[in-house]
Chain A
Amino acid sequence: MSLSAYIPIVGLFALAAAFGLFSVAIAPFVGPRRFNRAKLDAYECGIEPTPQPIGGGRFPVKFYLTAMLFIIFDIEIIFLYPWAVSFDMLGLFGFVEMVLFIVAVFVAYTYVWRRGGLDWD
């Protein structure tokens, strides 16, 4: 099994990238251009746009928390995949190890739940 099986993926990636870049590049030239100051404002339901500080301003800390939890659980999944693929080969040892691992994750999960990390409000 050589790396040659990966080449078609790169090919599809390149074709999609060429298509996407071409589309966004020609869009300004194909469409009409009728200048109007109001068009260039940020959209906001017909009222004056709220002033936005540079860099996006502030937003709820919950989003950061969700991202952190995502990293924890994603790493857990990444650990589960090789175990799952070789499950039949690992036998009883693999089963016991994975029970211990999932129990450990459950402890952390329960802690996060009790501390309100999974509540949105």
Chain B
Amino acid sequence: MNPTLADFGKDVWWIVLIKIVAVFVFLVVMTLFTIWYERRVVARMQVRPGPNRHGPFGLLQSLADGLKLAFKEDIMPLKADRVVFFLAPVISTVCAFTAFAIMPFGPFVSIFGQRTPLQLTDIPVAVLLVLATSGLGIYGIVLSGWASGSTYPLLGGLRSSAQMISYEVAMGLSIVAVFMSAGTMSTSEIVTKQADSNWYAILLLPSFVIYAISAVGETNRAPFDLPEAESELVGGFHTEYSSLKFALFFLAEYINMVTVSGLAVTLFLGGWRMPFLPDWLNQGWWGALWFTIKVLILLFMFVWLRGTLPRLRYDQFMKFGWKVLIPANLVWILVLAGVKTVNAHAPQQRWYWIGGAFALVLLAAIFWPSKKDSPKPTLEQEVAARPAGSFPVPPLDLQVPVSPRAQRITAEREVV
């Protein structure tokens, strides 16, 4: 029996408490594990051992790092806005944790004799909760950049927020196709619907591809890790942060990775169900295992991307989001809606409609006005084309006079 919306909100209070703590611990452990996992995998890709000293296979490395961070000096720059500087990492962390409340880990299980779904809770607008919290999480980043009172964090925070909101649009649009197919926003019911039909990653492949790309952009991960482009912005928004505050940002980033992976598993990859398995392996606690395995595979993809692709330039990145992902998404939604409508209302004439649409696209492609690049005008032509009285164009071999500051410094040196 599959959990439905009506099965939630009926737990005893101590079951709810156990589940809350379990989700919290799951996220913290996943973060510690993912940091180690990422370092090991990247190390293997770069033919070096990676962390292997603390514990078996270096598994305790991130725990040791976390403890060490706690005992580091907590520095707050003089120019920082004290209250906001303090609150920004908390906002990031809280939003990251809250988003995971609706992830379905499995079907009904029995905890101390109580029958309950293996999921903290489910609401009619569950997926919207994830989008809302990830939207609020941007506040943590932009406020930390602003409150630092420093140039690099400000630029990093702005970049980060611009990037995240741009890719949030693409992410939000890619999920529309899932809602159209499932007819619900509740995560547990979306998982059930996929068991009836097929994984939505197969049925709605374009949506899944767009979701995967925008998830990488949304979590500020390589190759879209522009807010943390060391050569341009030092550390980005968390440049001024140290000690546990920095650890909180780190935690939030990795939890967000787990969350987008978990959402991808839930919406597109069949949730906690594993295909081709006997029925008894898709019941009870097994679901949590399959869910975790799928999330880890997706996390491996994140690391793989980081180990493979170089970082994009910022204008290319924004162009890709706004000019490719969003229109492609809208067209795909229209196509899907058209196919579904034709299937529902005129299944006999299906092929006429598909042929008609295909012919239309073909005609548009043939008659699309070709873009002719006009030859680039030379400098003289450009200057001649300017209106009279324009600002004079400096010659290419202009000798720039030495600045007064540089002159002063040279003079001071000579005196010494």
Q: Point out residues on A near B: beta carbons under 8 Å.
A: 1-9, 11-13, 15-17, 19-21, 23-24, 26-28, 30-34, 39-45, 49-50, 52, 56-57, 59, 62-63, 66-67, 69-70, 73-74, 77, 80-81, 84-88, 91-92, 95, 98-99, 102, 105-106, 109, 113, 118-121
Alpha-carbon distance A28/B341, docked complex (angstroms): 61
Choose one: B16, B146, B337; the contact of A87 (CB below 8 Å): B337
Q: Please tell me if the beta carbons of A15 and B9 are within 8 angstroms of each other in the complex.
A: no
List 10 interface pairs A-B (beta carbons < 8 Å), by A numbering. Answer: A7-B9, A19-B93, A42-B151, A73-B169, A84-B176, A84-B179, A85-B184, A88-B183, A106-B327, A109-B326
- Contacts A11-B16, A27-B243 given; does A42 touch B149 at CB 8 Å: yes
Q: Please tell me if the beta carbons of A92 and B24 are within 8 angstroms of each other in the complex.
A: no
- Contacts A13-B98, A63-B158 given; does A91 touch B345 at CB 8 Å: yes
Give the distance to chain A from B212, nearest Cβ to Cβ, in Å.
18
Q: Which residues of B contact A23 (CB under 8 A)?
A: 89, 244-245, 247-248
The 4 closest A-B pairs by CB, nearest first: A5-B9, A16-B97, A42-B150, A120-B315
Q: Point out residues on B near A: beta carbons under 8 Å.
A: 5-6, 8-11, 16-17, 19-21, 23-24, 70-79, 86, 89-90, 93-94, 96-98, 100-102, 120-124, 128-129, 146, 148-152, 154-155, 158, 161-162, 165-166, 168-169, 172-173, 176-177, 179-180, 183-185, 234, 239-240, 243-245, 247-248, 314-315, 318-319, 322-323, 326-327, 330, 333-334, 337-338, 340-341, 344-345
- Contacts A52-B150, A56-B146, A121-B315 given; does A69 touch B21 at CB 8 Å: no
Q: Please tell me if the beta carbons of B314 and A31 are within 8 angstroms of each other in the complex.
A: no
Give the distance to chain B from A30, nearest Cβ to Cβ, in Å.
6
CB-nearest residue of chain B relative to A117?
A: B322
Q: Please tell me if the beta carbons of A42 and B90 are within 8 angstroms of each other in the complex.
A: no
Alpha-carbon distance A13/B101, docked complex (angstroms): 9
Alpha-carbon distance A39/B17, docked complex (angstroms): 42
Choose one: B172, B243, B248; the contact of A74 (CB below 8 Å): B172
Give the distance to chain B from A88, nearest Cβ to Cβ, in Å.
6
**Majority SS of interface residues in chain A?**
helix
- Contacts A6-B121, A13-B97, A73-B326 given; does A84 touch B70 at CB 8 Å: no
Q: Please tell me if the beta carbons of B154 and A15 are within 8 angstroms of each other in the complex.
A: no
Give the distance to chain A from B147, nearest Cβ to Cβ, in Å.
9
Give the distance to chain A from B185, nearest Cβ to Cβ, in Å.
6
CB-nearest residue of chain A relative to B91?
A: A20
Give the distance to chain A from B11, nearest Cβ to Cβ, in Å.
8
Q: Please tell me if the beta carbons of B97 and A12 are within 8 angstroms of each other in the complex.
A: yes
Choose one: A52, A70, A121; the contact of B149 (CB below 8 Å): A52
Alpha-carbon distance A44/B240, docked complex (angstroms): 10
Instruction: Indicate the member of A23, A32, A59, A74 with the most B CB atoms within 10 Å.
Output: A23
Q: Please tell me if the beta carbons of A105 and B24 are within 8 angstroms of each other in the complex.
A: no
Q: Please tell me if the beta carbons of B101 and A42 are within 8 angstroms of each other in the complex.
A: no
- Contacts A7-B16, A8-B20 given; does A42 touch B148 at CB 8 Å: yes
